[in-house]
Structure 1
Amino acid sequence: MTEQHSHQFERGTDGPKVILVGVDGSDSSLHAAAYAAGLARRQHALLAVVYVQPVMAAGAALGVPVADTTDEIAADLVQYIRDATERVKDIFEVRWEFHTFRGDPYNGLVTAADELKADAVVVGASEQAGHRIVGSVAVRLVKAGRWPVTVVP
């Protein structure tokens, strides 16, 4: 009797089929998106660009239109990505999709990676000083140990 593995590889198909990149508009996340696009192109993989819209209950309770603001950010990111892919379409082509999830960045990316069946996750290094103490989203993703994680400065 042979042992069954949940993740079996076939010759000629090894490598990621879906590369997920988390973007939030920061410089490091845009560097991560560029890096992930290069990986996706070389691997002939789908690039899943994910923006996690924060849920700010306190802001919403005070009457701040948080959803409208984060929807605008998502729309701006989609337009930025479309413009960037249009500029390089004659140089190389990358298959990509844009997805929006709601929640905190870590749980949003975990949910996205699970739902999109990501084979690899790429994120930008945190630009917030406090994350050196508490732990960044990138560190938490690496510690989860569920996907190969690349952290781009």
Structure 2
Amino acid sequence: MMEQHAHQFERGTDGPKVIVVGVDGSDPSLRAAAYAAGLARRQGALLALVYVQPMMAAGAAFGVPVAETTDEIAEDLVAYIRESAERVRGIYDVRWEFHTFRGDPYSGLVKAACELRADAVVVGASEQAGHRIIGSVAVRLVKAGRWPVTVVP
């Protein structure tokens, strides 16, 4: 009887097959998406654009329609990505998918990378000053050591 092993990703062979990039509409995340799109095109990989919708119970308590707002952000991101992809179609063809996850950015990207079987993760550098003290999403992803992580300034 043969032993069955859990699927292990084969890294360092033919390059990544799935590249996950976190997008939230910020300039660094859009630069990260552009960088990841180039990498996906050159490697023939699938580009998985991931927007993590924040769960803000406190905002909801004050009557802020959080889910509607984050859904609108996701819709705007999809429209922007489609428009960008259409502009370069024929010149650069990249296979891409858009996914949304809920939670904090770090946990959402980890969940996305696991579920989508990512071979690499790309994120934009944080612009928030407080992240120098408590650590940015990028630093936490690097420390997790589960995927190669590229941080785009």
- Residue 29 of structure 2: aligned partner: 29
Is the CA contact 2:52–2:101 (under 8 Å) kept in the aligned structure 1? yes
Report 1:73-112 matches (<5 A): 73-112=73-112
Report 1:48-63 matches (<5 A): 48-63=48-63
Displacement of 1:5 after TM fit?
Answer: 8.9
Unaligned runs of 5+ in 2: none
Residues 1:100 and 1:5: Cα distance change in structure 2 (over 3 Å) = closer
What is the percent sequence identity of the aligned residues?
Answer: 80
Displacement of 1:9 after TM fit?
Answer: 4.3
Displacement of 1:7 after TM fit?
Answer: 3.1
Report 1:8-23 matches (<5 A): 9=10, 14-23=14-23
**RMSD after superposition:** 1.8
Cα shift readout 1:112-153 (whole Å, capped 9, x = no counterpart): 000000000000000101101110000000000000000000
Partner-residue secondary structure (3-state), 2:28: helix
TM-score by length of 1: 0.93
TM-score by length of 2: 0.93
Is the CA contact 2:9–2:119 (under 8 Å) kept in the aligned structure 1? no
Displacement of 1:6 after TM fit?
Answer: 5.2
Is the deviation greater in 142-151 or in 58-67? 58-67
Provide the rounded CA distance (Å) in 1 between the counterparts of 2:100 and 2:116.
Answer: 12
- Residue 144 of structure 1: aligned partner: 144
Unaligned runs of 5+ in 1: none
Residues 1:32 and 1:62: Cα distance change in structure 2 (over 3 Å) = same
Provide the rounded CA distance (Å) in 1 between the counterparts of 2:145 and 2:26.
Answer: 25
Provide the rounded CA distance (Å) in 1 between the counterparts of 2:14 and 2:35.
Answer: 20
The code of the aligned residue for 1:35 comes to Y
- Residue 8 of structure 2: aligned partner: 7
Provide the rounded CA distance (Å) in 1 between the counterparts of 2:58 and 2:9.
Answer: 45
Spell out structure 1 runs of 4+ moving beyond 4 A.
Answer: none
